[in-house]
Amino acid sequence: MIALTDRFKEVNALLEKVPSYIALFESKDTLRAECSTSSDWQSHKGAQSVDVTSSPGSVLLNRPGGIQQSDSSAGDVIIQDGTGNRQPLWQSFAAPDNTALNRVAFLMEGQASAGEDAACEVYDANMNYLGSVLKNLPDDIDIQHLWVEFDFSGLNIQLASGATYWLRLITDLDVPSAIIKVAYSSSNPYTGGEMYLGSVGTGSTDDACFYVTFKYAQSGYIVTKTLDLGKSPTVDGEWVFEDTVPINTSITYTAWASDTGAFSGEEVYLGTIEDGDPITVRKRYYRVKAELSTEDLSITPELHSVAAYFPFFVKFASHLSAGYEPVIMGISSLEASIHPFKPSTIGTISMRLARTPSTEDYMTGHNPVGKRVVVKAGFIHEGLTEDDYMLYYTGIIDRYRLDGEGVFVVNLKDPTTSWKEKIPKKWESTADDISWGGVHPVDCMLDILERIGVRGAEIEKTSFSGVKAALPGWTVSRTLTGNTYEADRLLEELRLLTTTQFIPRGDGKIRLKLYDSEESPVAEFTDQNLVNIGWDANAEALLNELYVYYDWTGSGDELSSFQRLYILVDATSEKDWGPRKKEIKDRWTQAGNGWQTQQMAQKIIQRFSKKPALLEVEVDRSFLWLEVGDMVSVTSTLPPGGLTQKKFQIIRKNLDFSKETVRLRLLEV
């Protein structure tokens, strides 16, 4: 439901009222100070355990450079001699930062080594065992020296900055006749450690040919340079953060404001802030501290930009009595729709503005493309102020032109246009893969939106968390590999699985709503308030056989690429109407979570096995507060057989505020 003020409702219920629009166009006088370039980040006012250079224009958690002792060797040491004898090789190293171990490798050679294994163990300076990895030695080491790598990324072995750690390399003797060697160098080539055979001693100047790589730091922070707006703002502002925050990572922001820019005690602490939060303390100077952290040390959040944004607006109206220049000649109707098996559509709108010195200055005095526009709708009526107007549409200018009649036509962009961007942005190797393993589908949706640059301020977070709470225990898993994928396609698959809908709001945010057949109606339609009604038996929507394929192998679109099949049949419907079959391919649910696929199927069959009726209705504009996804009750003698308090869901809404009625499409629940 759309929130309306009591005064708006009172005037909207009157028979005599004049519809009115007020449009706020972001102006060139907007104040904005940001930190977004490499030089910006390198001018920080304090940082720890973050990297501002390896990804230009972004801030990442620090990933210490690896340790590599040169692959040029003085010779080989034998750790297995071919007669059933072996001895361990010990090599120490010093951790360069507070981090975690990622990979270890030794330069090795062998003879008749096929089938032999080797283990790399890790100990701290007090010889406390920390973990080990077993590796089957590659056959090619019988031909030449090869780097043999041991992957510790899954063990989460924490390392303390400057502390000494020992690596112990030892074979398994699975093939006693094998000879295994490790290349080494003398003359102390690596000053941070030393090598021994058999047992650890003292005074060695030898080092194995080895390398060690590390994971990202667990946490770090950066304080931005001083953000200078150039002058103190006279209106409230908004925080704008662009970041990429994968699952199991986070960025927390705090801020300060100052009149002088000194930040030496005179500043005002603003507390914890989020993207889209208002800035109500109006100062010329700001600083922001971003604290980055990760629970999975193989990934890092990325901070791209921080901005203090104070938008100034040029306001135009459709009527002089609204208080602004009356240049709005018309605004197109606003339409939004949802469908159980099709993507949501969010209509764009166009505006026609009279050509006046003010509108011409706005259109030609700067580039308006990308500027924000807020459209409000209300009435010309005593006591009704701009604050009472409803939010009709929020978007950004996509294009503008002067038509043949000398009228400016401005088109505002559909906020979901960016959802067609692809993830990953490029795919060249498995290093570009994106994986989700055992995560909630709502978290997966948010991660996808994050990856394509949808700001947190552009979604209604409470609705997403509400759906997540309503689907406890749900998890999905998938790896995107070998190609790039359109984000909207991935989101549509997850939406269908969870039986949810993306609902547009007048403030430009997107809300996630879970379908619930038990939801109570929020309005009642009868023959007394239905201006017009059309009925469709909707026979094509009938479904009584549902085949859901899941437990996907990870590639291919053919049915054989799915390892599980769930079949749900409504025998009564099939008998009454004949078989009507639909197939769904679920690429997200694994075998152990087949119950969630079954829940989806049961919801679908329950709704569509009884041939849900479709109504096209017009209702009085007093019902404009309804939105797609809402449940309503219908009692009418007009459809065949009549309807008595029958529940329907609004699946399409067309609102032309200048008219007295609202057009709705309703689907039986």
Q: What is the pLDDT of residues 641-668, one digit of tens each?
A: 899 999 999 999 999 998 889 999 999 9
Q: Are strands 476-480 and 325-326 parallel, antiparallel or unpaired?
A: unpaired
In a domain? residue 237: yes
In a domain? residue 16: yes
In a domain? residue 303: no
For residue 71, what pLDDT is reported? 61
Say whether pLDDT at 193 is over 70. yes
| Residues 113 and 172 both lie in one domain | yes
Q: How confident is the model at residue 72 (pLDDT cuts 50, 70, 90)?
A: low
In a domain? residue 48: yes
| Residues 530 and 622 both lie in one domain | yes
Q: How confident is the model at residue 98 (pLDDT cuts 50, 70, 90)?
A: confident
| Residues 466 and 505 both lie in one domain | yes
Say whether pLDDT at 257 is over 70. yes
Q: What is the mean pLDDT of residues 268-291?
A: 97
Weakest-pLDDT range from 281-285, 495-499, 639-643? 639-643
| Residues 73 and 209 both lie in one domain | yes
| Residues 479 and 529 both lie in one domain | no
For residue 531, what pLDDT is reported? 92
Q: What is the mean pLDDT of residues 521-538?
A: 92
| Residues 281 and 323 both lie in one domain | no
Domain count, the chain: 6
Q: What is the mean pLDDT of residues 72-95?
A: 90
The better pLDDT of the pair 297, 652 is held by: 652
Cα dihedral across residues 541, 547, 550, 554: positive or negative: negative
Q: What is the mean pLDDT of residues 593-609?
A: 94
In a domain? residue 307: no
For residue 457, what are the domain limits?
418-514
Domain boundary among 233, 259, 292: 292
Q: Report the run of H or E that residue 633 belongs to, with start and end.
A: strand 631-636
pLDDT digits 0-9 by tens, 542-569:
999 999 999 999 988 899 999 999 999 9
The better pLDDT of the pair 254, 28 is held by: 254
| Residues 55 and 123 both lie in one domain | no
| Residues 222 and 175 both lie in one domain | no
- What are the tokens at 106? 């030794």
Q: How confident is the model at residue 342 (pLDDT cuts 50, 70, 90)?
A: confident
In a domain? residue 306: no
Weakest-pLDDT range from 226-235, 411-420, 425-434, 536-545? 411-420
pLDDT digits 0-9 by tens, 384-394:
999 999 999 99
In a domain? residue 467: yes
As a whole number of angstroms, the distance between CA 424 and CA 433 comes to 7
| Residues 662 and 528 both lie in one domain | yes
Domain CATH code at residue 131: 2.60.120.260
| Residues 482 and 599 both lie in one domain | no
Domain boundary among 412, 445, 463: 412
Over pLDDT 70: what percentage of the chain?
99
Weakest-pLDDT range from 198-207, 353-362, 408-417? 408-417
Say whether pLDDT at 150 is over 90. yes
Phi, psi angle pair for 302, to nearest 5°: -130, 130
| Residues 379 and 406 both lie in one domain | yes
Say whether pLDDT at 575 is over 70. yes
As a whole number of angstroms, the distance between CA 458 and CA 439 comes to 22
| Residues 81 and 95 both lie in one domain | yes
For residue 186, what pLDDT is reported? 82
Q: What is the mean pLDDT of residues 355-362?
A: 95
Q: How confident is the model at residue 415 (pLDDT cuts 50, 70, 90)?
A: low
In a domain? residue 656: yes
What does the mean pLDDT of the chain come to?
92
Neighbours of 407 (CB within 10 A): 17
DSSP labels, 226-294: PEE-SS--SS-EEEEEEEE--TTEEEEEEEEEESSS--SS--EEEEEE-TT-EE-S--SEEEEEEEEEE
Domain boundary among 198, 214, 230: 214
